[in-house]
């Protein structure tokens, strides 16, 4: 199997329609042992979703902006496994006033929250897990992205944070490569997840994909994205790092489409 014997940390699972949940499922089907994270009021949802996986994993608490949480997480993983082969960063948040066409009026505090939670957190997670990856002799870090080389309707400061995340990915690839750690971002097309539905104007994204993605795009199928993440966790991408890999039906490569 593709991930036989691998030990993986999967963050960001809330419900079983998420990319992170499907990544956890595919990873288990491919032989990996996993641990999930959740925190706060969402912990109960994460635990419920964990029970729907083929082998219900443990759920550890992680508020990525709380240094104590990260310290406790790494201590648990060190005691549990002693090392780590891969981790999925599926963490993002922007306050309501940082989205929905309010770009010019967003207060700096809200933009900062979007950046810290959605972009800087990838560095936070990578630095916290570095010792565990070193014990494994290297590994793979993957983050979930939505390509923001262009401006999107309504995405606003989350778009800025995602653009920063793409840059963080490249700098982590630079600094962690000597440790044998690959760092990549997977840019997914829009999916009908709880996270997506919380973004005002997300329906504009969905309409655009219908007429432009040459392979087509299924809003209700996160599995193609999950499979790519698992490929990046595996030995089948040994020399790939610093990449933004699109799983979007080819949408990103086409300048214009016919629409529907």
Instruction: Catalogue the active-site residues.
Output: 155, 162
Let me know: does 132 contact 77? Beta carbons within 8 Å: yes
Query: Which residue carries 């990915």 as its tokens?
Result: 169
Let me know: does 43 contact 50? Beta carbons within 8 Å: no
Cα 147 from Cα 166, distance rounded (Å):
8
The closest of 226, 194, 245, 13 to 202, measured between CA atoms, is 194
Return the number of other C-beta atoms located less than 10 Å from residue 85's C-beta.
22
The first and second tokens of residue 78, run together, are: 């060190």
Let me know: does 49 contact 38? Beta carbons within 8 Å: no
Helices (H), the chain: 19-29, 43-50, 67-80, 108-115, 121-136, 156-176, 194-197, 202-212, 223-233
The first and second tokens of residue 110, run together, are: 């809200």
Cα 223 from Cα 213, distance rounded (Å):
17
According to DSSP, residue 113 is labeled H
Cα 122 from Cα 137, distance rounded (Å):
20
Number of residues that this document lists for the chain: 260
Cα 59 from Cα 158, distance rounded (Å):
27
């Amino acid at each position: 199997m593709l991930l036989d014997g691998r030990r993986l940390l999967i963050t960001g699972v809330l419900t079983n329609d998420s990319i992170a949940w499907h990544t956890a499922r595919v990873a288990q089907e491919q032989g990996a042992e996993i641990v999930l994270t959740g925190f706060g009021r969402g912990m109960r949802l994460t635990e419920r979703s964990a029970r729907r996986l083929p082998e219900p994993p443990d759920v550890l608490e992680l508020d990525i902006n709380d240094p104590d949480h990260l310290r406790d997480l790494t201590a648990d993983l060190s005691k549990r496994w002693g090392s780590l082969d891969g981790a999925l960063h599926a963490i993002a948040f922007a306050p309501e006033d940082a989205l929905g066409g309010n770009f010019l009026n967003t207060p700096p505090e809200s933009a900062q929250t979007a950046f810290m939670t959605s972009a800087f957190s990838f560095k936070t997670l990578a630095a916290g897990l570095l010792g565990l990856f070193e014990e494994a002799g290297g590994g793979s870090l993957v983050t979930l992205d939505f390509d923001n080389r262009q401006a999107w309707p309504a995405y606003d400061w989350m778009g800025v944070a995602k653009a920063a995340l793409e840059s963080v990915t490249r700098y982590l690839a630079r600094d962690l490569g000597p440790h044998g750690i690959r760092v990549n971002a997977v840019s997914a097309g829009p999916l009908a997840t709880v996270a997506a539905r919380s973004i005002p104007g997300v329906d504009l994204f969905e309409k655009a994909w219908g007429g432009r993605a040459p392979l087509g795009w299924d809003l209700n199928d996160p599995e193609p994205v999950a499979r790519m993440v698992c490929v990046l966790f595996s030995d089948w991408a040994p020399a790939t790092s610093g990449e933004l890999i699109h799983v979007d039906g080819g949408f990103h490569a086409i300048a214009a489409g016919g629409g529907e």
